[in-house]
Amino acid sequence: MDREDLTPAAGSPAKPSGSFGRLSSGFLAVSLLSGAALVPHYDPAAALSSLESIASGIPLGAFLRGLHAWSSYGLLLALVVHAVEVARKRTEGQLAAGVWWRAVALLPLLVLALLGGFVLRGDAEARAAADVWRGMTSSIPGAGPPLAALLLGGPGSGLGAAALHHAGTFSILLVILTVEHARVVWPGTRPSVLAALASVGAAGLLTVPLGPPPPGHGVLLGPWPLLGLQGMLVDLPAAAGWIVPLAGVLLLGSLRGAAGPARTAALAALAALAAGWAAFTLRILVLAGH
């Protein structure tokens, strides 16, 4: 690693923030290990049937799938709380600019990985989620269609590209950027045990759905962290699907180096985005008849 990257910015607080940062590393470890255990049994060419045979054909298969899903959701939750923690303690200045921006990139990368994981279910809801993802990405002017093809392959080309990016590209980038940011490979015993216990508890209590959605769903819901995005797409132009998350990432990134009214404005805009996200989450749940 570049020596300069380890040098805290002048005037930044000396105490690192990060109990939830370490916890997210723990969740990442659980998610990667459970994902690696699933890979040999998953077939992108027969996604749904291979997941069904994981659930019923291999010992603890359904539990393992739940462990992978819940640890990944736990990772997202811990990462968001960590970002709030950093903003509150103003510790972003401890990182060099490049490392900070790459750490911020962890959030969209994780969301892409989660979306990819949902699409890999291969059932009707997953196919619809893939269509929405493709349509939304294609609405990016110029780069949209090639980017959609890069992430999901051509229309009707199967789940090969999504599987490759989920298990390969995104996972590798998440590991590299996490290690660069945390400066350790092993998150430590306590956060790892805590993340493992939380994931095991969730996987034991809550099943991850597969197959047709329960009757009465008027609209596609998709992965729960993205319900706000789904709600937004009902009322706002399709481009809002990438403009709003991009604005969130840029606002979070801009906290480093922002002081006084600029920082207050960035934080207020982030809070407004979060409130809008929550409102659109409610909107889609109501529309779906929940």
Partner 1 sequence: MSSRRDFLGEVWRWTGAALSVLGLGVVWKSLAAKGESREVDLPSDLVQRLSGDGGQGIAVGPLFLTGTPSAPKALSLECTHLGCRVAPLPSGAFACPCHGSRFDSEGRATSGPARRPLARAVLEKRGDRWIARI
Minimum CB separation from partner 1 for residue 128, in Å?
5
Pick the piece of the chain touching partner 1 (CB under 8 A) from 24-32, 99-107, 135-143, 244-252: 135-143
What is the spatial distance between Cα 214 and Cα 193, in angstroms, rounded to a whole number? 34
129 and 36 Cβ atoms separated by less than 8 Å:
no
Pick the piece of the chain touching partner 1 (CB under 8 A) from 23-31, 37-45, 68-76, 212-220: 212-220
The dihedral sign for the CA sequence 256, 257, 259, 265:
negative
Q: Site for partner 1 (CB under 8 A): how many residues? A: 22
Per-residue contact flags (x/-) with partner 1 for residues 214 to 243, judged by CB under 8 A: ---xxxx---------x--xxx--x-----
Minimum CB distance to partner 1 smaller for 82 or for 134: 134
Q: 156: which DSSP letter?
A: T
Phi-psi label, residue 211: left if phi above 0, alpha if psi -120 to 50, beta otherwise: left
- Which of 132, 174, 227, 251 binds partner 1 (CB under 8 A)? It is 132
Minimum CB distance to partner 1 smaller for 53 or for 139: 139
Other Cβ atoms closer than 10 A to 191: 22
Pick the piece of the chain touching partner 1 (CB under 8 A) from 22-30, 32-40, 83-91, 211-219: 211-219
Minimum CB separation from partner 1 for residue 273, in Å?
20
Minimum CB distance to partner 1 smaller for 155 or for 201: 155
What is the spatial distance between Cα 7 and Cα 27, in angstroms, rounded to a whole number? 27
What is the spatial distance between Cα 16 and Cα 103, in angstroms, rounded to a whole number? 15
Minimum CB separation from partner 1 for residue 218, in Å?
6
Alpha-carbon separation of residue 145 from 41, 139, 154, 161 (angstroms)? 31, 8, 9, 15
Quote the radius of gyration of the chain (alpha carbons, Å).
19
Minimum CB separation from partner 1 for residue 163, in Å?
20
Pick the piece of the chain touching partner 1 (CB under 8 A) from 56-64, 82-90, 141-149, 173-181: 141-149
* Residues of this chain, 102-131, that bind partner 1 according to CB under 8 A: 124, 127-128, 131
Assess 80 for contact with partner 1 (CB under 8 A): no
Burial of 1 (0-12, 13-18, 19+ CB in 10 A): exposed
What is the spatial distance between Cα 163 and Cα 202, in angstroms, rounded to a whole number? 24
What is the spatial distance between Cα 21 and Cα 108, in angstroms, rounded to a whole number? 16
Minimum CB distance to partner 1 smaller for 202 or for 210: 210
Q: Which residues bind partner 1 (CB under 8 A)?
A: 124, 127-128, 131-132, 134-136, 142-143, 145-146, 217-220, 230, 233-235, 238, 287
